[in-house]
Amino acid sequence: MIHGKAAVLMGGRSAEREISLMSGSGVLKALRARGVDAHAFDPGQRDLADLKAEGFERCFIALHGRGGEDGTMQGALEVMGIPYTGSGVLGSAIAMDKWRTKMIWIANGLPTPRYRILAAGDDWNAVARELGLPLIVKPANEGSTLGLTKVVSTKQLPAAYELAAKKYRDIALAEQFIDGPEYTASIVGETALPLIRIEAPQGNYDYQNKYFTDDTKYHCPCGLPARKEKELQALSLQAFRVAGCSGWGRIDLMLDARKRPWLLEVNTSPGMTGHSLVPMAARAVGISYEDLCVKILELAHVG
Ligand SMILES: Nc1ncnc2c1ncn2[C@@H]1O[C@H](COP(=O)(O)OP(=O)(O)O)[C@@H](O)[C@H]1O
Ligand SMILES: [Mg+2]
């Protein structure tokens, strides 16, 4: 068997458990189809120590969100000496934190929307003046658009702050609104795959919309001139690396009216269902879903 006994880590305890189960089932089926001795393993239901006891030699991390994508699982696997897919401890932890990711990008001269961290006693008028309206309020640490609000008038700010900060006990980030098309760059190993343009229904950013309806359209090829796409692929690779990320992942970015790019975030363990974006970008360059899963598994590392 290629690669020895492999565990596909799926499920877990985060808010994105259901998506992870879908990603994991797809990956499991694909790896088996390619002759890998792969087995499902749900860290939400099982003791991690079983990985070692049952002789697993590699882990494909198909977990999303806290406890799977944030560096903690990566740290546990490091300690156990089991190679795993995707970013290491540092890159995973940084990418889970949109605030620290932005600080690193800014320190490296990479473009990311202007922002400020919100606090309960803030002067909301001053925030609106500083960033302009509309603006985006989102939690710094929770993925999948939980707690995100597009704020069009100052009086919405307190509620947007409450939603982002309180409900998920998190740091709330207010960000300049970028009015333009949205893209995602998929990264596998040392290459950025073709960009996908994401066309969401007007003003609709919620979680349900993103995963469970057909309203969002995805375009690959993305429609940009080849030179512009190349430039954004290079920018995404650089953004991925300076954030300490490796293996595979996805960078979300937008273009403004003047076609200038703005980096939004890194996803270090993006969706891997048959309809997910990294598989879609891979298909555009002739890499099948199965081959993509094997490729990611081959990039597994420890330390
Ligand atoms: N500064 C921004 N300007 C315009 N739209 C934004 C901005 N930040 C986020 N969005 C929208 O909200 C979505 C989710 O934001 P993102 O930062 O990618 O967080 P996550 O995907 O973890 O929920 C983006 O895909 C984009 O559509
Ligand atoms: Mg995103």
Distance in Å, CA 264 to ligand 2 centroid:
7
Residue 204 is predicted with a pLDDT of: 55
Residue 278 is predicted with a pLDDT of: 98
Q: Does 175 sit in the ligand 1 pocket, CB within 6 Å?
A: yes
Q: Which of 264, 265, 268, 277 to mutate to test the pocket of ligand 1 (most atoms within 8 A of CB)?
A: 264
Residue 131 is predicted with a pLDDT of: 98
Mean pLDDT of 158-182: 89
Residue 200 is predicted with a pLDDT of: 83
User: Does pLDDT of 210 surpass 70?
Assistant: no
Closest ligand to Cα 144: 1
- Nearest ligand 1 atom to the CA of 146 is 23
Q: Does 209 sit in the ligand 1 pocket, CB within 6 Å?
A: no
**Full-model pTM:** 0.95
Give me the DSSP letters along the chain: -EEEEEEEE---SSTTHHHHHHHHHHHHHHHHHTTEEEEEE-TTTS-THHHHHTT--EEEE---STTTTSSHHHHHHHHHT--BSS--HHHHHHHT-HHHHHHHHHHTT-----EEEE-TT--HHHHHHHH-SSEEEEESS--TTTT-EEE-SGGGHHHHHHHHHTTTT--EEEEEPP-S-EEEEEEETTEEPPPEEEEPPTT---HHHHHH-S-SEEESS--S-HHHHHHHHHHHHHHHHHTT--SEEEEEEEE-TT--EEEEEEESS---STTSHHHHHHHHTT--HHHHHHHHHHT-B--
- Kindly list the catalytic residues: 16, 144, 211, 250, 252, 265, 267, 271
Residue 283 is predicted with a pLDDT of: 98
Q: Does 97 sit in the ligand 1 pocket, CB within 6 Å?
A: no
Distance in Å, CA 41 to ligand 1 centroid:
31
Q: Does 136 sit in the ligand 1 pocket, CB within 6 Å?
A: yes
Residue 168 is predicted with a pLDDT of: 53
Q: Does 184 sit in the ligand 1 pocket, CB within 6 Å?
A: no
Q: What is the pLDDT of residues 234-278, one digit of tens each?
A: 999 999 999 999 999 999 999 999 999 999 999 999 999 999 999
User: Does pLDDT of 218 surpass 60?
Assistant: yes
